[in-house]
Amino acid sequence: FLHLRGHKTLRKHCTEKYHNITTWTSKLCLFFPISTQTCHTELHAGQYYTLPPAHMRTLFPHGLPPRFQMQMKTFNEACVMVRQPALELITCLRKADYSEPALRYVLYGEKGCGKTLSLCHVLHFCSTQGWLVLHIPDAHLWVKNCRELLPSSSRPGRFDQPIQALNWLKNFKTTNEHFLSKIKTTQRYVWTKRESTEEGRPLGELVDQGVSRVKSSSDVVGALLRELRLQAGGAAEGAFRLAVAVDGVNALWGKTTLKKEDKSEVLPEELTLIHNLRKMLRNDWCGGAILTTLSQTGSLFKPRSAYLPMELLGEEGFDNMDPFVPIPVSNYSDKEFESCYLYYLDRNWLQHPHSRTEDGKKELIFLSSRNPSILERLCAFL
Amino acid sequence: MVASIANLLKPWTPRLCAVRWSRYNPYYLEPETDKDVYKIPDTELSPEQKEEKELKTTRPIKAAATSITSSPFNDPVISKFINMMMQDGNKVLAREIMTQTLETIKRKQVEKYHRAPAAEKEAIECNPYTIFQQAIENCKPVIGLASIQKGGKNYQVPIPLKDSRRRFLAMKWMITECRENKHRRTHMYEKLSQELLSAFTNEGNVIKRKHDLHKMAEANRAYAHYRWW
């Protein structure tokens, strides 16, 4: 997968194609596609790197923002900018001690700053290091718009969400195929009178049980999370590190829009999936890291201007998540904006003749105020 | 004389609302929104342009519309199309549809560009603005028909069209085609982008309608002398 474009060939490619853009020769360092993950340091900040397509299919069946997926389809490649918050997170993960309880990291920032993409970048790093990746793409999807809310078969007063659990299990299976045969269950799980999973069976069987029997899929998710929690970072030879990534973690402690049959509101802790996920986010297990993102976009009953952890998580959420490592994600700096602009030029995306001039660039900076998502939406029709 | 002109300067409200958009007194001049026009130094102006500039110092000028900007990104053809697509004064929605259309056209073309071999890359046009302009150009009819009554009977007489009328017809056909003849469940921007891309290559229903009009005009050539203007 090492598709490393050499320095000299890139320069030649540039000077042939873009004679008018004088910034190329001087700012060549800004757009130097590198694919080797492990050598990302501060030197590479602001540069783009290409994610190999095979990795994209397995790692991210469900995690990427929809506009980024459209961009991937158009440009026929997946290029992510290396930015300061992601670099910080990667250095923390490298230096952390995994015999201690798991550290919680929270990426926060204004709307459209690049929190989800930074999380995806870090997850790619984790998977190249051989970690087991547990990615919940958007926790808000579990607390709203649920068509089927079944009362839980195992516990009274809890509600199951079979469709969401099923989708998630399928995606989990695609991401972590190679781990499913290695990890064994430590306990016997009884699903119904006739079905049970014995102790010592591979995890793959547990996942298949959830996929085939849709009614018990939420309980299967709970069992899966429990198994992974117990076995991550163990001293055994089959030890693995666990990366729990939750996008939109403020959904777990907010309100839901789901209603019971007597029209009373469902609290988040009454949902099996949310309850088990909250147990996962407690730092009482070792051998991994918990990477989360706050998100106002899908959140319920929160104002649009809220982006700080205290505002979005609320009292209860903050107390549960405390202590955590907050990592702010901000708009593009000058260098990053340059890099993004040059990337769009290279990919033949900025078509309007005025947008290729200096004045046009200043207009873009002014209109988008260097916000990544607004810039992307502006450049889409220019 | 000055007093009568000053009378004209007060906001003039019509007694009968005859024509839309004529609220401004005809004494007022159109604003010039293009920044580059003001950057030309006095020495390079032709005598007519100098006269116009002199006139603008003395006469009042209409307020510029909110939909136009002084930025080079502003395109009068696109603005006209947005206004024609607008329903019930919902300019926000019409603009949103237009930008989504331009984005869809660009995405399709850039995707084709990236997947094509190097030899064909030059031939693929990726700029959605040029595609839009060219498509509308291709849809403009050259000759139109007017209904003229002669001897108690109405005849369809071929007549030359003004440039504004041609542009109006092209855009109107494009919008009605996309609204009526396409599948109900597709979005307007998808329908528009498909139709514009096919018009760019001289295919599609709008081009067919233009050709039908030309054929009718050719068929009714004999009545051309009924036109008196």
Q: Which residues of A touch B129 (CB under 8 A)?
A: 351-352
Question: Both B57 and B141 in a single domain?
Answer: no
Say yes or no: B67 and B83 in one domain. Answer: no
Give yes or no: residues B117 and B216 share one domain. yes
The three-state secondary structure class of B212 is helix
Asked whether the predicted pLDDT for residue A63 surpasses 70, the reply is yes
Query: Could you tell me which of A118, A82, A108, A103 has the C-alpha nearest to residue A241?
Result: A103
Q: Which amino acid is present at B143? A: I
Is the minimum CB–CB distance between A74 and chain B shorter than 8 Å? yes
Please tell me the pTM assigned to this model: 0.86
Q: Is the pLDDT of residue A85 over 90?
A: yes
Smallest CA–CA distance from A355 into chain B, residue: B73
Of B51, B74, B97, the domain-final residue: B74
- Give which of A68, A343, A351, A365 to mutate to test B binding, by max B Cβ within 10 Å: A351
Q: Mean pLDDT across the stretch A88-96?
A: 92
SS3 A300: coil
Q: What is the pLDDT of residue B3?
A: 62
Domains in chain B, number: 2
- Give the whole-angstrom CA distance, residue A1 versus residue A51: 9
pLDDT recorded at residue A298 = 87
- Write down the pLDDT at residue A197: 85
Mutant choice from A17, A72, A74, A365 vs B, greatest count of B C-beta within 10 A: A74
Query: In chain A, which residue's Cα lies nearest the Cα of B100?
Result: A381
Look at residue B5 and tell me whether its pLDDT is greater than 80: no
Supply the pLDDT for residue A201: 86
User: Which residues on A lie below 8 Å from B110 (Cβ)?
Assistant: 74-75, 347-349
Q: Which residues of B touch A347 (CB under 8 A)?
A: 110, 114
Given a cut of 90, is residue A355 above it in pLDDT? Answer: yes
Alpha-carbon distance of B85 to B19, in angstroms, equals 21
CB atoms within 10 A of CB B142: 11
Sheet strands (E) in chain A: 48-51, 78-81, 103-109, 132-136, 150-151, 159-160, 189-190, 196-197, 242-247, 288-293, 325-329
**B81, B160: one domain:** yes
pLDDT for residue B140 is more than 90: yes
CA distance A353 to chain B (A): 9
Rounded CA-CA distance A223/A53 in Å is 32
Q: Say whether B99 and A381 touch across the interface (CB within 8 A).
A: yes
Indicate whether B15 belongs to any domain.
no
Nearest to A376, CA basis, from A112, A33, A115: A112
Q: Is B21 exposed, middle or buried (0-12, 13-18, 19+ CB in 10 A)?
A: exposed
Residue of A13, A348, A363 for testing the chain B interface, max B β-carbons within 10 Å: A348
Could you tell me the strand order of the sheet in which A132-136 lies? A132-136, A242-247, A288-293, A103-109, A325-329
How high is the pLDDT of residue B1?
64
| pLDDT value at residue B13 | 67
Tell me whether residue A283 is exposed, middle or buried, using C-beta atoms within 10 angstroms of its C-beta: 0 to 12, 13 to 18, 19 or more: middle
Say whether both B146 and B79 belong to one domain: yes
Chain A residues within 8 A of B71 when measuring between CB atoms: 354, 363
Look at residue B12 and tell me if it is in a domain: no
Place of tokens 């005849």: B155
**Boundary of a domain, candidates B42, B74, B106:** B74
Percent pLDDT > 90 in chain A is: 52
Q: Which of B74, B103, B130 represents a domain boundary (last residue)? A: B74
Confidence of residue B2 (pLDDT cuts 50, 70, 90): low
Asked if residue B81 and residue B69 are part of one domain, the reply reads no
Residue in the structure block whose two tokens are 């849709």 = A214
Say whether residue B107 is in contact with chain A using an 8 A CB cutoff: yes
> pLDDT averaged over chain B?
90
Q: Is the pLDDT confidence value at A369 over 50?
A: yes
Distance CA B152, CA B147 (A): 12
Chain-chain contact of B113 with A348 (C-beta, under 8 angstroms): yes
What is the average pLDDT value for chain A, to the nearest integer? 85
Residue of A73, A75, A381 lying closest to B103 (CB–CB): A381
B79 against B1, higher pLDDT: B79
* Residue B24 is assigned to a structural domain of this protein: no
CATH code where residue B218 lies:
1.10.455.10
B102 vs A70, A347, A381: nearest CB: A381
The pLDDT of A81-91, averaged and rounded, is: 92
- Chain A contact probe: residue of B81, B103, B111 with most A CBs at under 10 A: B103
ipTM here: 0.84
* A190-204, B93-107, B121-135, range with the lowest pLDDT: A190-204
The pLDDT assigned to A4 comes to: 36
pLDDT at A29: 37
pLDDT tops 90 at residue A215: no
Same structural domain, B89 and B69: no
Confidence at A183, pLDDT banded by 50, 70, 90: confident
Both B39 and B130 in one domain: the answer is no
Mean pLDDT, to the nearest integer, of A328-337? Answer: 94
Query: Is B103 in Cβ contact with A351 (below 8 Å)?
Result: no
Q: Is B59 inside a domain boundary?
A: yes
> What mean pLDDT do residues B152-179 have?
95
* B143, B175: one domain: yes
> Does any CB of chain A come closer than 8 Å to the CB of residue B103?
yes
Q: How far is A272 from chain B (nearest CA, A)?
A: 37
Using one digit for the tens of pLDDT, what is the confidence trace for B12-22?
666 665 555 56
Q: Are A266 and A259 in contact (CB under 8 A)?
A: yes
> Which chain A positions have a beta carbon within 8 Å of B127's beta carbon?
351-352
B68 and B124 share one domain: no
Q: Which carries the bigger pLDDT value, residue B112 or residue B11?
A: B112
**What was the pLDDT predicted at B20?**
52
Is residue B68 domain-shared with residue B82, that is, in the same domain? no
Give a yes or no: residue B103 inside a domain.
Answer: yes
Alpha carbon distance B94, B85 (integer Å): 6
A286 touches chain B (CB under 8 A): no
Q: Is 50 exceeded by the pLDDT of residue B204?
A: yes
B44 or A333: which carries more pLDDT confidence? A333
3-class SS shares of chain A: helix, strand, coil, % to 5: 50, 15, 40
Please indicate whether, in this complex, the C-beta atoms of B110 and A380 are within 8 angstroms of each other.
no
Model pLDDT, residue A37: 53
Tell me what the mean pLDDT of segment A207-226 comes to.
90
Residue A109's pLDDT band (boundaries 50, 70, 90)?
A: very high
Structural domain for B82, as ranges = 75-226
Does residue B17 lie within any of the structural domains? no
Q: How close A67 gets to chain B, by Cα (Å)?
A: 12
One domain, residues B45 and B104: no
Is residue B2 domain-resident?
A: no
Cβ-based contacts of B99 with chain A (< 8 Å): 380-381
CA gap B167, B165 in Å, rounded: 5
Answer yes or no: is B20 within a domain: no
Chain B interface mutation, best of A79, A354, A356, A381, highest count of B Cβ atoms under 10 Å: A381
